[in-house]
Amino acid sequence: MSFLPIPFPTVSPVLASGVHSYASELFKEVGFLGFLTNSVVVALVVLGLVLWFSRKATTNMTLVPHKAQNFLEFVVEFLYGQVVGIVGEKQAKRAFPLLGTVFIYILVSNWFGLFPGVGTIGWGEATGLLSIKAADSPLLRPPTADLNATIGLAVSAFLVWAVLTLREVGVWGFIVHTFGPKGGLKGLMGVAVAVVFLFVGVIELVSIVIRPVTLSIRLFGNIFAGENVLHTMSDLLSAQGPVLSFFGSVALPLPFYFMELLVGLLQAIVFTLLCAVYIQLSTTHDDHGHEEDHH
Amino acid sequence: MISALPIYLAAGKVDQIAEKFGLAWPKFLAQVIIFWIVFAILKKYAFGPILGMLEQRRQRIADGEAKLEKIARDLAEAEKNAKAVLDQANSEAERQIKEAGESARALAEKRQQEAIHEAGQILAKAREAAQLEHEQLMSQLKREFGRMVSDATSRVTGKVLNADDQSRINQETTAQVSL
């Protein structure tokens, strides 16, 4: 295997032999470094970027903001407004750090995957001093195209959801909220409705349990599919000679880069909004029920 | 045994999925740890300071608005007070002007009366002086006329009149002229 720094004039952008459904381990031979995949590398880069920009934006903050501070203020204020609009002012104070992090982390990861070289620079069958036929084991892969990362995100969000929910309504409150009959019916009808709501509660419980699965697979699927689309479009003219191959690998995926920019943003929004909605649904008190109880 | 078969099958499927997508605990934990580090970084260095700054700015704007309202209220109050002071000053000035006018009219009236009185006195004095002069002139005329009558009498009669005759003729002449 040879490492590929890819100088531009050598050949057209090197294409992976195919986008793997998994993140490649960078040090297969070193057992304790098995966790270090190409998506972990990008996750670390994203971490570094976030740390660098956060420090840059919040160092020497002034009431009249400088450029970086202004940009971060815009992002944070916008996100906070959206979160408040969904979960309310009280829960927003608790949930915003997680939801804001989820949004920024997913967005930066998604867009990082669109940088030239991500997924195309790596190890593969050598064809020259600094070139390979295809990057079988890319050096970089967006974390959101790794199921480990998306499940990790979804599980983290699920844990925070559980903590916020139990803090707000308690265990019994959650059970009542999930399984308790609504409508305040008494007698035989009340029993029938209670049975129905018990069944609905079981369905609700199942839907809650599979939320991390749906969240993670949706995100992974979209980004992984995007990687495949870009790869396929880049590879479309690879058999038509070097000139057409070069032209095709640059021009054909270009429109899809814009689409992937949009998809990356949309997926970050979808993941974050769904988490916010889940929190809102389970932390909202059933005031109507209480009112009916009082009556 | 038969009932446990789906579980074995399911376990096999899960293993297949895990293998296909490279799922492994170390990789999963690495991603989770990195995410929570990002969370901690953003919470400490981004969300905390930025939300604090936004709150500070919001507070400052609210304070500014409150001060602006207070200034507007104070301005309105000051304008109201200034208007009241001006109104009071105007009414006071009008009163003083009116009083001054009345005082001037009274003084002018007084001066006019004094002037009229003084003029009357001057006229009376003038009349008295004229009367006195007239009387003196009349007296002198009478005496002159008496003398002329005495003189004419003495010439006509050729008699030298003594002092008694002259006195008698003068008195008679004067009495005649007075009538």
Query: Domain residues of chain A, as ranges?
Result: 31-294
B3 to chain A nearest CA, in Å? 22
pLDDT for res B177: 66
What are A123's strand-pairing partners? A137
Query: Residue A56: in which H helix or E strand, if any?
Result: helix A38-58
> Is B59 domain-assigned?
yes
Contact A35 B22 (CB under 8 A): no
Which residue range(s) make up the domain with B34? Answer: 16-130
- Count structural domains, chain B: 1
What are A25's strand-pairing partners? A37
Predicted confidence band of residue A240 (pLDDT cuts 50, 70, 90): confident
Enumerate residues 52 to 81 of chain A having a beta carbon within 8 A of any beta carbon in chain B: 54-55, 57-58, 61, 63, 65, 69, 72-73, 76-77, 80
Averaged pLDDT, B149-166: 80
pLDDT at A17 over 60: no
pLDDT for res A211: 93
pLDDT at A162 over 60: yes
pLDDT for res A164: 93
Furthest CA-CA distance within chain A: 83
pLDDT for res B10: 67
Summary mean pLDDT of chain B: 86
Q: Give the residue from B38, B44, B55 with the most A CB atoms within 10 Å of its CB, the best one to mutate.
A: B38
> Is B46 domain-assigned?
yes
B39 touching chain A per CB within 8 A? yes
**For A149, nearest residue in chain B (alpha carbons):** B31
> What is the tens place of the pLDDT at every residue in A18-77?
678 888 888 777 777 878 888 999 999 999 999 999 999 998 888 888 899 999 999 999
> Is B42 domain-assigned?
yes
- Least confident residue range of A192-196, B59-63, B144-148: B144-148
pTM assigned to the model: 0.73
Contact B50 A23 (CB under 8 A): no
Query: Do the Cβ atoms of A67 and B45 come closer than 8 Å?
Result: no
Rg (CA), chain A: 24
B53 to chain A nearest CA, in Å? 7
More confident position, A248 or B173: A248
Contact A97 B21 (CB under 8 A): no
Contact B28 A151 (CB under 8 A): yes
SS (H, E, C) chain A: CECCCCCCCCCCCCCCCCCCCCCCECCCCCHHHCCCEHHHHHHHHHHHHHHHHHHHHHCCCCCCCCHHHHHHHHHHHHHHHHHHHHHHHHHHHHHHHHHHHHHHHHHHHHHHCCCCCCCCCEEEEECCCCCEEEEEEECCCCHHHCHHHHHHHHHHHHHHHHHHHHHHHHHHHHHHHHHCCCCCCCHHHHHHHHHHHHHHHHHHHHHHHCHHHHHHHHHHHHHHHHHHHHHHHHHCCCCCCHHHHHHHHHHCCHHHHHHHHHHHHHHHHHHHHHHHHHHHHHHCCCHHHHHHHHC
| Residues in chain A closer than 8 A to B22 (CB atoms) | 20-23, 37, 146-148
> Is B40 domain-assigned?
yes
> What is the tens place of the pLDDT at every residue in B60-107?
999 999 999 999 999 999 999 999 999 999 999 999 999 999 999 999
> Is B75 domain-assigned?
yes
**For B53, nearest residue in chain A (alpha carbons):** A63
